[in-house]
Amino acid sequence: MRSRVNTCVGRITAVVLLFAAVLIADGRIAQAQPALAPRDGYGFAVGAPMTWISDMEADRELDAVARTGATWLRVFVDWSRAEPMPGAYDWGYLDHWIDGAVARGLKVLAMVSYTPEWARAPGSYFSAPPVEPALFASFLTTLVKRYGDRVSSWEVWNEPNVPLFFGYLDDRAARYTELLKAAYPAIKGVQPHSTVLAAGMSRAFAPDAPPTFVEAMYALGAAGFFDAMAMHPYVYPAGLGVDDHNGWSDVERVRRLMVDNGDGAKKIWMTEIGAPTAAATPGGVSQQEQARQITDVLARAAHTDYSGPVFIYSIRDIDTADETDDQDNFGALLTSDWQPKATAEVLAR
């Protein structure tokens, strides 16, 4: 999760038509050749801003999603915010986002991350794992009991393969596998037919590369503790099929690992894709290129029988005016002052 602190093939039985973005002379987006969306649908992810924007802003973002063909919303469950003290809960922002998504006909994927201060090692960062995985499992039990009538898909943590999102630890794969082994039975104990995802993996190079991390997870016995894998195949700045900096290419490597470990029947959900429109940064792209990269990845997922839902990060820019900060400019549908971006036109239904 990026935050301020990121001709149909025979095996596809159902597809949704999108329009691929093409740039024409005056800089507008034309609705041109049809592209495919994953048969399990696509949606949007918001990330950390969910926890601080107003209810009115949340509703405007949800309305923007409803104007597209999206069928999913990835909701960030900030454990540190939801349980600031042991057994004391604050569900405010989660109630609003989850109820708002359901009211608009969107299915919810709940991604749970960030450890409260009372549950992590003294002096550690909030993205560090809890000292005791059982504390996380207890929170998940409470969480699923509360939202299990509206949510049945759960993603256990976010990008644990990189230090920023799982603490600067030498044994991240081992610590994450312990967490997953505690989380899975806690969720299934309340909601047996739920779908539990292993955390979305950030694109990274060795030793943090997703294939390296996933291979270690399997060696540590993770196979029986998730129903689907998650990946974050960002392909900016060059785009899909050029030099994706271990974006989609790592999806294919992880898929081979899953097959080799007997998990060929499990899908890979792409829980973040996208690109920043920050012109003054090395990875920044134009709005038109952002739209092209998003539709390219949606189409690639549609052509793979192992792809689950795909989530575009994110809905709205945090600060469009700041072109020097790529993390502020991942919005796909809206600028920070609520102007529609190119992808909004491409994905409009």
What is the spatial distance between Cα 221 and Cα 27, in angstroms, rounded to a whole number? 52
Asked if 294 and 243 touch (Cβ cutoff 8 Å), the reply is: no
Task: Look at 63 and 24; give whichever has higher pLDDT.
Answer: 63
**pLDDT of 132 higher than 60:** yes
Tokens 């399990």 correspond to what residue?
A: 40
Measured CA to CA, the distance from residue 305 to residue 14 in angstroms comes to: 11
Determine the Cα–Cα distance for residues 327 and 63; give it in Å rounded to an integer.
23
Strand partners, 35: 18
For the chain, count helices (H), then strands (E).
9, 10
189 and 196 Cβ atoms separated by less than 8 Å:
no
Interstrand relation of 267-273 and 307-313 (parallel, antiparallel or unpaired): parallel
3-class DSSP assignment, residue 249: helix
How far is the C-alpha of 110 from the C-alpha of 341, rounded, in Å?
26
Chain segment 76-127, per-residue pLDDT in tens:
999 999 999 999 999 999 999 999 999 999 999 999 999 999 999 999 999 9
Closest CA to 20 of 335, 291, 340, 231: 291
Banded model confidence at residue 22, pLDDT cuts 50, 70, 90: very low
Q: Is the model's pLDDT at 243 over the cut of 90? A: no
User: How many CA atoms does the CB half-sphere of 156 hold within 13 Å?
Assistant: 33
pLDDT at 2: 52
CB-based contacts of 36: which residues, under 8 Å, 6+ apart? Answer: 8, 12, 15, 16, 17, 18, 298, 299, 302, 303
pLDDT score of 211 more than 90: yes
What domains lie within the chain, and their CATH numbers? 42-347 (3.20.20.80)
- Please say if the pLDDT value at position 21 is more than 80: no
Q: Which helix (H) or strand (E) holds 327?
A: none
Enumerate the β-bridge partners of residue 55.
none
Virtual torsion, Cα 159, 165, 168, 173, nearest 10 deg = -30
Asked, as a colleague might, if the bond just before 207 is cis with ω within 30 of 0, I would say: yes
Q: φ and ψ at 148, to 5 degrees?
A: -60, -20
Answer yes or no: is pLDDT of 219 > 60. yes
- Euclidean distance between CA atoms 189 and 193, whole angstroms: 10
Count of C-beta atoms within a 10 Å radius of residue 47: 26
pLDDT averaged over the chain?
A: 91
Q: What is the pLDDT of residue 312?
A: 98
Compute CA distances 339 → 44, 159, 215, 345, 348, whole Å: 18, 30, 43, 11, 14
CA distance 114 to 129: 7
The rounded Cα 228 to chain-centroid distance in angstroms is 13
Predicted TM-score (pTM) of this structure: 0.91
User: For residue 241, what pLDDT is reported?
Assistant: 81
- Could you tell me what percent of the chain has a pLDDT over 90? 85
Are 278 and 317 within 8 A, CB to CB? no
What residue type is 59 in one-letter code? Answer: D
Tokens of 36: 């495919």
